[in-house]
Each structure stands twice: as C-alpha cells, then as structure tokens.
Amino acid sequence: MTVILSMLVYVVACDQVGPAKQGVCEASALASWATAFGTILLSVVAVWQGKIGSWLFGPRLCIILPEHQGTLVPRGSGVLTWYYHLVVTNSRPRSPAKGCRVTLRRIQRRGPDGRFTDIGVPTALQFVWSHPDVTPSAPTIAIGKTLDLCFVDQGANVLVPALYSYPNNFEGCVKQDQCFRYYLDIEADNFTSREPQLVEIAWNGEWTEDTDGMSHNVTVVKDTK
C-alpha cells in the first residue's frame, strides 16, 4: 500500500513539471511502476509459494476401501473381534505425506424417516492406524497405509469407531439396526484434504465368526451421496 501511494504522489508531481521534463518524468514513473509491480509480485509469490508448490508437487492423499472388508482377530482378553479398515493412498509416492492423521470431523445418524441428522462432535477425533503397537500416530505415507475404521467385539451391543480417545458422552457408536455417516479429514504436515471424505456404516446387530455372514451384518460404503 505504501508503494502504491508513493507512486500516485510521483504521478501528480509529474503533472506539475514543465513540458520539457514531462517525457523524462513519465519514463521514470513507468520504471518506478514496473519496480513496484515486481516488488508486489515477489511478495505474493513469497506468501503463496509453499501452497502453490504443495498443490503442484506435494502428496495427493485419498481414502479407499480395501478389497476385502472385515478381519477377525483375537484381542488381548481373548475376545474375538471383527475389525474394519480403510486405506490411505498417496498417488504421488515421490512426495511422501509427513505426519499423516485421519480425523473424525462430523457424524450423522439415520433416523426412522431415513434422513440423516448430525450428532455433535466437540473436537476432531483421530482414527487409529492399524498395528498401533508398531505404527506411530502420525506416520509418513509414501504409497499407502491401512487405518482401523471400526470394530465390534463378540457379544457386544455396539460397533465402535477405532479412535485414539473418546470424549465423555460419545454418541458415535453404531447400535443394532443403525446406520451412521462418518466424515473424515486427512491431514499431514504437507497436506490437507479439501473436503471431508464420507464413509457410511450400517450394522444389523448380528455377530458371527463366518466371513460371509458378517459381510451381510456389517456394511461399509464410501462416498455415499
């Protein structure tokens, strides 16, 4: 702004000189304008070069469903548990995403009328990466990494999103014959998703060790419109 005001003053001053010096003054003003424009352009580039560089050459992360849904594993207590997963992929493996996190930003629950209504989420809640005993909570992703989406224990009456922590009075667990929508953000030190990615989960309340049976009991769909 200071540069622009100075140039305006300079133009006014040129209007007040005699005809003999008018051409020299105008040429000098033009050179000053070019210098001012270059200064402003460099300032803009300095501010935006990180964002522009990230957009052109940074990582490109996306959430996809694995080919096979549902993995039956015994938990530490000996209880059998079905885990359901997502995969975070990077289409630019030459630009690894550093410090990657997937967070739950919004929850919706389907009502008896088929409409989805929002459930309050007080703060962003981070999903757990698979094999958390050996995987950091904010890993670097070059190609892809598996994320725990949710789990349901044998004999349990809720299907639970796999989060590192849960707030008091958390209402995001799926009960019998319920359907929830989770809106997920991907964040990294050098990447931020432009819009949340939607995953829809439904459970009929049934539990079995049979893979085909559970494929009918629990359904996971991504990007439902």
pLDDT of residue 46: 47
pLDDT, mean over the chain: 84
H/E segment holding residue 181:
strand 178-188
Q: Looking only at Cα atoms, what is the longest distance across the chain? A: 97
Higher pLDDT, 167 or 11: 167
Q: Using CA atoms, how far apart are residues 208 and 185, in angstroms rounded to an integer?
A: 32
pLDDT band at 77 (very low <50, low <70, confident <90, very high): confident
**Annotated domain spans of the chain:** 2-57, 61-222
Q: Using CA atoms, how far apart are residues 187 and 31, in angstroms rounded to an integer?
A: 45
- At 92, phi and psi to the nearest 5? -125, 75
Percent above pLDDT 90 for the chain: 69
Count, in order, helices (H) and strands (E) of the chain.
3, 13
pLDDT of residue 120: 87
Question: Mean of the pLDDT values across residues 100-119?
Answer: 97
Q: Which pTM does this prediction carry?
A: 0.76
Which pair of structure tokens corresponds to residue 4? 């622009």
What is the rounded (10 degree) CA torsion for 209, 211, 212, 213? 30
Q: Using CA atoms, how far apart are residues 88 and 184, in angstroms rounded to an integer?
A: 11
Place of tokens 């005993």: 133
The answer to whether 186 and 87 are in contact (CB under 8 A) is no
